[in-house]
Structure formats: C-alpha cells, structure tokens
Amino acid sequence: MIDIKFLRENPDIVKQNIKNKFQDKKLPLVDEVIELDVKARAAKAEGDALRAEKNKIAKQIGALMAQGKKEEAEEVKKQVTEKSSRLAELEKEEALLNEKVKTIMMVIPNIIDESVPIGKDDSENVEIEKFGEPVVPDFEIPYHSEIMESFDGLDLDSARRVAGNGFYYLMGDIARLHSAVISYARDFMINRGFTYCVPPFMIRSDVVTGVMSFAEMDAMMYKIEGEDLYLIGTSEHSMIGKFIDTILPEEKLPYTLTSYSPCFRKEKGAHGIEERGVYRIHQFEKQEMIVVCKPEESKMWFDKLWQNTVDLFRSLDIPVRTLECCSGDLADLKVKSIDVEAWSPRQKKYFEVGSCSNLGDAQARRLKIRVNGADGNKYFAHTLNNTVVAPPRMLIAFLENNLQADGSVRIPEALRPYMGGMEKIEKKQK
C-alpha cells in the first residue's frame, strides 16, 4: 500500500505506475482518493478547531462557576452541547472518509522499482542469467507422473476418490525423496544463517489482507467455514504476519527466517497438458525464506535471497535460470520480483520452481510493522520473501535431471545423508 502522503504529492507518478502495470481502469481511483482525502482532512481540521473551542469554553465555565455566576455558566454550557453535537458528526464523517480512502488505497498498486522491465504479462519477462549446462539425454524421459509411478511412488486415483482432483498420495522412495528435499532445504538455509520456524498453517483475515491483494486472496485462499481463518497459500503469509502491529528495535534487524509449511491453493483457471500429475495441485509442502529489514538494505537482501535458491538447485545438479518479472506480471504489492526456473530435459525448456519478491514497505504499512530507529523516529520495515523449494513441483525437475537410462534416479551426493546413504532409487519390478 502506497503512503497517502506520497500519492497526495505525486499523483502523476502514481498514475504512470498504474499505466506501466497495464491497469488503466484504476486511473480514476487516484483522483477519487485525493478528493476523499481532502474532505477527510477538512473534517479533521474542523474537528480539531471545535475541540480547541470546547476546551476554551470549559475553562470559561469553570471561571464563571468560581465567581458564582451560575446562570451565565449554564448559557455557555449550551454552546458546548451544540459544538459536541457537530463534533460527533465530524468524527463520524472523518472515520467514514478515511475508511473509503483506505479501501481504495488497498487497490492502487505499489510503485515498482525503476529497474523492472515494462511488459503486459509473463510472456514479456526477461531472462537474466543461466546457471549450469542444460542437458538433453539420448533416451526418452517419461512424464513426471510416469516416473513416479515406475517406483510405485504416486497414487492419483486413490487421492481422487478421497479428496478429488488436485491431490495425490506420494509413496515409498518418492515420498522419502520428497521429505529428504524438504529437510535438506531446511538445513541449507540454517547453514546460511536463517532461523528455522514452523508457523501456524491458518491465519486471520486481517493478516491475509495485510500480505496480499484482494484479487490474489480470492484466487488463492481457502476460507474456514464459520471462522475468521484462512488456510495459508504459502508460509510467507504466516511468517510476515508474525510481526503484525509491532515496533521492532532497529538493532535487531534484519530478521531472517526460513519456514516449513503445507500450502493450500484453489489454483483457479484452465490446466494445460503439462500441468497434469503433481504440477498444479491444491496441497503441497514448501520451505520458504523471509526477511524483515531496513529499507536501505532490501535491495541487497533481494539479491541474496534469489541466489540462495539458485545455489540450492545447483547443489542438486539441476540447471536453472533467473527471469526478471515485467511490470504486468507483478502482483500489486510487489516492488520487484525474480522467478527461478529449472531445466526440464523432457520439455527441453525451463519451468518455474520459485519466486523471489521485494515488497518494499507495502506489507509493513498494511500490518503496521514499524521500526524504532536509532534517532527515535519510527518507520516502516521492508519485507521480502523467496521460495527455497516447493516439492512436488521441485521433484519434477529433480527426477528429470537425475533420471538414468535404466530408469533409476541418481541421488546427488548432497542429498544422500537424507536418503539413508542411498546413491540411487531403483524401478520396482513388476
């Protein structure tokens, strides 16, 4: 959420930002919020003046009573009653106007970083760098669900009967591999100085609206019937929510946390042929990383976060690339975002396995996460988040890049301690 003071003083910048995000239908909101803000501040100014007058009259009444001038005091009290009635009207009007301003401000997109490329959608994202050499083996690589099934590691039919489409059972070595990847990612981030955390898997509505836009909320979140609770779509939401309505000592920054959680998503929209199996699902597990820091340090942390994901995938012999998300592909709260994509030997192209985002002070402003500066002044923190790994999708990249000609899957050395020393997993004999 943008600072109302910034919008008030820079309406043209805010409008250009809306145009850069190809959301022209939101342009009238800028003038609307300015008009409402003027009215709200006028109501406040009149109210402040009335309060000052009431205080002055109260002293006058006290003086008259002290002088025994009861009748004169009663006449003056009538003025207080009139002013109190008008003040009540103004307070109600101001609160209503401020609520309207806040509602609109929640819809106006955050100001994107000047380095973000301008583009309409993800087709205009820009490749930054490749890490590792993409390899296409001289044998056919089956679809990921077929690879998993060859190890008796995936049961979609049973999951369909139990929960419907978009769910799965992972079994045997594949289930173990899934857990191994999560555990390895946890320790990888701990070794990089992050504090491990297991957060609540449900959050209240004020946290949901604090960490994401209304459009994202509607597209992603599952609501708990009869409760002010939502299942998290990613642990970032719960982790940033941990700091809601707090004043953080500046000397404690940055907070660097890595968290494990299951994630639950509606995943609306059409699913293409490459999104069958366990690619696009309603339930999955993820290791996440978040940072709460000083504004001047957020760009530095942004680069560190996406690099962590690249390094982890490379440690498992998976080639990856980074993509700069263009303006039209950024969610409304994001200042800048980089996707990490893994190489798919079967498709002979890269696909998304993680996303790193800098949200500036947007989440902190909504959630009232402030920092007590060394000079005594308070300011909003900056928040960032990034995917460490999100299996089962990450398993697709893992299985394809480590599949051998005989159908076995090689276990990279870094992961072997988490797989009981196994160097490969073998196909089950039928």
pLDDT tens profile 48-107: 898 888 778 777 777 767 777 777 766 767 777 777 888 888 999 999 999 999 999 999
Residue 313: inside a domain, yes or no? Answer: yes
In the predicted model, what is the mean pLDDT of residues 351-358? 95
Residue 324 lies in a domain: yes
For the purposes of burial, counting CB atoms within 10 Å of the CB of 82, is it exposed (0-12), middle (13-18) or buried (19 or more)?
A: exposed
Q: What is the pLDDT of residue 273?
A: 44
Distance in angstroms (rounded) separating the CA atoms of residues 330 and 326: 7
Q: Which residue has the higher pLDDT, 318 or 430?
A: 318
Residue 205 lies in a domain: yes
> Does residue 115 sit within a domain?
no
- Residue 177 to residues 120, 164, 174, 198, 390, Cα–Cα distance (Å): 38, 24, 5, 20, 13
Q: Return the closest-CA partner of residue 279 out of 403, 142, 383, 144.
A: 144
- Across residues 104-133, what is the average pLDDT? 96
Is residue 70 assigned to a domain? yes
The tens digit of pLDDT for each residue in 148-168 reads 999 999 999 999 999 998 899
Same domain, 392 and 277: yes
Checking if the pLDDT of 188 tops 50, the result is yes
pLDDT in tens, 397-427: 999 999 999 999 999 999 999 999 999 999 8
User: What is the tally of structural domains in the chain?
Assistant: 2
Q: What angle do CA 296, 209, 333 make, to 5 degrees?
A: 40
Q: Mean pLDDT over all residues of the chain?
A: 92
Whether residue 260 contacts residue 194, with contact meaning beta carbons closer than 8 Å, is answered with: no
The confidence score (pLDDT) of residue 9 equals 95
Q: What average pLDDT score do residues 164-180 get?
A: 94
Q: What percentage of the chain carries pLDDT values higher than 90? A: 81
| Tens-place pLDDT, residues 316-336 | 999 999 999 999 999 999 999
Question: Would you give the DSSP letter of residue 403?
Answer: B
407 in the same domain as 338: yes
Is 396 in the same domain as 273? yes
Whether the CB-CB separation of 364 and 287 falls below 8 Å is answered with no
Q: Within this chain, do residues 74 and 151 fall inside the same structural domain, yes or no?
A: no
Contact 210, 367 (CB under 8 A): yes
Which of 76, 105, 134 is the last residue in one of the domains? 105
Provide the token pair at 312.
């982890």
